[in-house]
Amino acid sequence: MEKYEKIKVVGRGAFGIVHLCRRRSDGAFVILKEIPVEQMSRDERLAAQNECQVLKLLNHPNIIEYYENFLEDKALMIVMEYAPGGTLADYIQKRCNSLLDEDTILHFFVQILLALYHVHNKFILHRDLKTQNILLDKHQMIVKIGDFGISKILVSKSKAYTVVGTPCYISPELCEGKPYNQKSDIWALGCVLYELASLKRAFEAANLPALVLKIMSGTFAPISDRYSPELRQLILNMLNLDPSKRPQLNEIMALPICIRPLLNLYTDIGNVKMRRIEKPLSTVQPGRQGRPGGRVPTIRSRDGTISLGSGKVHSLPLSSVYTWGNGISSPLRLPMLNTEVLQVSLGRTQKMGVTKSGRLITWEAPSVGSGEVSLPGAVEQMQPQFISRFLEGQSGVTIKSVSCGDLFTTCMTDRGIIMTFGSGSNGCLGHGNFNDVTQPKIVEALLGYELIQVSCGASHVLAVTNEREVFAWGRGENGRLGLGTQDTHNSPQQVCLPVEFEANRVVCGVDCSIIISSQYSILACGSNRFNKLGLDTITTGEEPNPSNQVEEVHSYRPIQSEPLCSERIVHIDIGTAHSVAVTEKGQCFTFGSNQHGQIGCSSRRSSRVPYQVPDLQGISMAACGDAFTLAIGSEGEVYTWGKGARGRLGRKEEDCGIPKALQLDESHPYVVTSVACFNGNSLLAVKPLLEEAALR
């Protein structure tokens, strides 16, 4: 043992102790199986020798690597590769009934498939394939098959008669005492695939006789209908009672459902870190600039394409998403995954969307260092080529909405459950701690409530329930949580509201919060700098005297600035130092700082009085960035004004105090479905809209 330093015992196998060790020569972690051969029966010694013999024959990236074996202190020591990601069984158990998406299932499955194909090509049967014997690397993306203690080496193409293996994975022919060959491993592989798709075993029972009856009948619960018919059929074929009707491994590998994940494996397997697999990406180069507004005369054909005035025919996209700001000076169409995006949200680093099918989609710019180096002070930059992917970890649930904070994200399911992930600083994930979480995790403290809406500030969150209760958590500075203090909370706290106030919608700013009731009354708390919350007492349209000005409140109080407190406000958003509100009549009001013209008047007037933006009528929604404003007209027009640096306004222009229409690269009529701003960035989703005349 001079070559290895024992760290700890990590398990006890069928015939010995399993140690985690450090190899002294290079500091690498390895697994050492200590098998006390002198205390074993002849059959047990043969099994130990068999594992060494089998491991020596195998050399595959998806099989635990064998290093060496030696005798010490009357024990056989087998040294092999360490897989720090735990077992596939543990991975499945931690899903907590949140189904994996099909891409992830197939990503794991094809690796097991390749490993088993290598094993069978060596005329070896694994004979104990199960999720407990399938290990994962530290990133939980690379699969490693292990535990060959009872594998059978077939010196000829014979059949093995010994009945071994874990009962839940035993094939029908073993239950009947019939001989089997490689087709029994394929049955077990089918059981593993079923477990990946349903997060439970295909065959389970209270006792062995009942289990045998279940296996012999070949009946098991169907997998979720969210999965493709091809996946369901593959499981049925592998779990066929007749071994001769089960597919060969090479036949499975040739199936269309397996070809793409196999090709993706060969593309990515060389990357040690092995990032999560992504769907095929479509990149869209910025095209010609379209006209402002959303209406273009069209005629729709019977096959679903649309004809433009030019006579060209284009297929109708499900939706388009644009981004600008942060150095992108004109709207850049983001790549889509052949899906319709209904709602979008922005954080400091996140660009997120919710699809019509209830999935989270994210857009990511290439990592730093992957492109050309830009010189200090450079203004003109190449348009970045974003990639899109569906977010892992929220399969099995339908996402209804998403909201992004500074470095964290919240999403809400169609059943009113809140999930959060990202940075846990300031307790903004609501999990009762300050830990980071990489994949969506349920906020357990709210499981007894049905949430209808959630909003993120930079470092705090508000959520409203169907019973009109409001919960807040995260950073408490400036009294932004509305709990009467400036304390930070890492779990949801119920907000005290007036008895008659029926909360309907919540909005979080950087350092403040707003609640809109179903009766259109508005409460606000936190920083009221520049009167960005409308808490100053203003009745005549004149500047409030100092006694009527409010700088900060720690509990919710009604807004007091006319005309906001008398208009029916249906939409509101808060920027860094200003806000925008849209009335039921489609009027647009701005209030707060006007340092960069974000209020929308031609002058740089500094006023605490709310301002109605002239010439903007029929506004349906609006959003605020750090020092700019965006509004959407009834005809799909996109107006921006305020600070223009680094492309904030979607055009090459410095500060502009007058709303101007933005041009999107759309050749067909569209409606804006969602818009979001964060700091100096914007994200906007549109979908095709055909005029009534064109449908007739």
CA–CA separation, 17 and 455 (whole Å)? 51
3-class DSSP state of 509: coil
List strands edge to edge, sheet with 512-517: 503-508, 512-517, 522-527, 552-558
CB-CB neighbours of 157 under 10 Å = 8
The H-or-E segment that residue 108 falls in is helix 102-121
Q: Cα-atom radius of gyration of the chain, to the nearest Å? A: 31
Distance from CA of residue 553 to its chain's centroid?
Answer: 35
CA–CA separation, 232 and 198 (whole Å)? 11
Residue pointed to by tokens 């809400």 = 412
Token pair for 22: 């450090």
Token pair for 191: 């059981």
Q: Which residues contact 491 (CB under 8 A, 6 or more apart)?
A: 427, 430, 431, 432, 445, 473
CA–CA separation, 251 and 258 (whole Å)? 10
Geometric angle at alpha carbon 125, from 120 and 128, rounded to 5°: 130
CA–CA separation, 652 and 193 (whole Å)? 53
CA–CA separation, 350 and 177 (whole Å)? 57
The H-or-E segment that residue 473 falls in is strand 470-474
Residue 43 appears among annotated catalytic residues: no
- Phi, psi (5° rounding) for residue 588? -120, 120
Geometric angle at alpha carbon 377, from 371 and 378, rounded to 5°: 50
Q: Is 33 annotated as a binding residue?
A: yes
List strands edge to edge, sheet with 305-307: 299-300, 305-307, 313-315
Choosing from 103, 128, 147, 185, which is the catalytic residue? 128
3-class DSSP state of 67: strand
Spatial CA neighbour of 151 closest among 176, 178, 188: 188
Helical packing angle, 102-121 and 229-238, nearest 10°:
30
Spatial CA neighbour of 535 closest among 559, 551, 515: 559
Active-site amino acid positions: 128
Binding residues: 33
Binding residues for ATP: 33
